[in-house]
Amino acid sequence: MNPDEPILDADDAALLDDESPPAMRERVCRLLSQQPYGVLCVQGGGQPYGALVAYAFSEDLRHLVFTTPVTTRKYRLLSESAQVAFVVDSRSGETDDLMELEAVTATGRAHLINRGGEFEHWAELLVRRHTYLKSFVSAASCALFRIDVVRFLHVVRFQEVRQWIPADQS
């Protein structure tokens, strides 16, 4: 586990212990597949900040990738602190039944991917999912970030929360 990752406060929600990895993995994977946009949560100087972004994810669910112009607040805050959360939920789906809504919060660290090296790989992953971002990603004033996910928290039935640490899967 990443030593920077805060320990979950068990009072925050009804925290059930680890479910068997495949079931949780499938749920997370399904929700991430269904929802092309998520809320990136960053911080700086004690001030949290959230922004809706288009994203893609790696097959092993250990990484999320997104892009942002370097002129934005979120870029500056990411430069100050790499610790982020990323929230994806099913509000835009067919149901508005509170008990059926699902959300996943990923926590981890965001890394700026410099051009060259693995940039192409992550850019392609993002553009494959969001074709319209092709020129955006290649623009010199855009930065590409990869979030290395430490933990997923999956919420369903209003307060039922499970956590999953992808690195723990064998």
Partner 1 sequence: MDSSRPVLIPLHAVEARHEPIVGGKAAKLSQLARAGFTVPRGVCLTTWAYESFVDDADIVNTIRMELGRKSLDEMRWEEIWDAALRIRAAFMSQPLSDSLQSTIAEVLSAFDSSTPLAVRSSAIGEDSADRSFAGLHESIIGVRRTNAVRDAVRLVWASLWSDAALLYRKELGLDPARSRMAVLIQEMVDDDRSGVAFARDPREPRTEHAIIESVPGPCSLLVDGMVDPDRWEIHRKTRSVIAWRPGQREGSNDDGPLLEPRDLEKILETLLSVEQLFPWAPDIEWTGRSETLTVLQARPITTVAPEEDDKRSWYLSLRPSDLRLRDLRKRVSEQLIPELEALGQALAAEQLDPLDDEQLAQAIRARADSVAEWKMIYWDEFIPFAHGVRRLGTYYNDAVKPDDPYEFVGLLRDQPLLAAQRNRAIAVLAQQLGSHDSVRAAVERLLREHAGSMKWVDFRRELLQIEDVAAGFVEGFERLSERFLDVTYDDERLYDQPEPLLWNIVELSRLPDRRPQSSRASGESASVLQQRLLDAVGPERHEEAQHVLETGRVSWKLRDDDNLLVARLQSQLLRALSVAASRLRDRGQLGDEGKPNASHVEPLVQALRVPNAAPIVLAPHTAATKSNPLPTAQGESARQLIGQPASPGLATGTVRCIRGRDALSKFRRGEILVCDAIEPTMTHLVPLASAIVERRGGMLIHGSIIARELGIPCVNGVRNAADVLKDGDFVTVDGHLGIVTVGAAEFDLERDF
40 class by beta-carbon count within 10 Å (0-12 exposed, 13-18 middle, 19+ buried): buried
**Closer Cβ to partner 1, 74 or 151, answer by number:** 74
140 binds partner 1 (CB under 8 A): yes
Nearest distance from residue 79's CB to partner 1, in Å?
Answer: 8
- Of these, 1, 69, 99, 121, which contacts partner 1 (CB under 8 A)? 69
Nearest distance from residue 170's CB to partner 1, in Å?
Answer: 35
Strands (E), the chain: 14-16, 37-44, 47-57, 63-69, 83-89, 103-113, 142-156, 160-164
Q: Is 132 helix (H, G, I), strand (E, B) or coil?
A: helix
**Closer Cβ to partner 1, 72 or 169, answer by number:** 72
For the segment 71-110, give every residue that binds partner 1 (CB under 8 A).
71-73, 75-76
**Closer Cβ to partner 1, 115 or 157, answer by number:** 115
Six token digits for residue 2: 């990443």
For the segment 1-60, give every residue that binds partner 1 (CB under 8 A).
none
Residue holding tokens 């999912």? 129
**Closer Cβ to partner 1, 128 or 157, answer by number:** 128
**Closer Cβ to partner 1, 145 or 152, answer by number:** 145
* Sign of the CA dihedral with 157 first, then 42, 12, and 59 last: positive
* Count of chain residues binding partner 1 (CB under 8 A): 17
Q: How far is CA 12 from the centre of its chain?
A: 20
* Sign of the CA dihedral with 69 first, then 154, 23, and 7 last: positive
- Which stretches of the chain bind partner 1, using CB under 8 A? 69-73, 75-76, 129-132, 135-136, 139-142
